[in-house]
Structure 1
Amino acid sequence: MSREEFILLPLHKKIQKLYTEGVFVVAIRYYTHKVNLYLLGDEYIEVFYNHKLDKIDHIDFLNREHSRMKFYLDQISLPY
């Protein structure tokens, strides 16, 4: 599945795809969210879970330029 195809999937299909075909890498806390990082094929994908609302708010490809990267790199080594 291409990146563009994944982006066009509805949220529940993205969740299903990640949980059935993705590999969980690590979880971090980021403000009000728990962010789970998955590897799907050769792409890293973040799943933003909001504890207060008890729901997944957002799923997106990892932005390696974001300041959130420091939280991942403290725990694991990601290839560039």
Structure 2
Amino acid sequence: MRTILTNTVSELRRTRKEAESELRPLLTAEQNRRLDELARERSQLRDQWQRGERLKPEQRLRLRERLQEHLKGRTNASPESFPSTN
């Protein structure tokens, strides 16, 4: 089971890197900067989670707001379906 999980994670990382390398040339400098910022934040959250640290209420609220902003206009996602920040 662990081997399957490890292989799956490795494949996902490889696919993400390939997609990013194809996408980056199409983005503006501002979009590339934002992509880098989001990658840093995602990495920090993942590291905190692995260390056993959980999100503080303010961090959960900020993350919820960012998700809502990101999903605006998408028909298959509604902010009401997000978990409560309380």
* TM-score w.r.t. length of structure 2: 0.28
- Normalized per residue, the structure richer in strand is 1
Between Structure 1 and Structure 2, whose CA radius of gyration is higher?
2
* TM-score w.r.t. length of structure 1: 0.29
- Normalized per residue, the structure richer in helix is 2
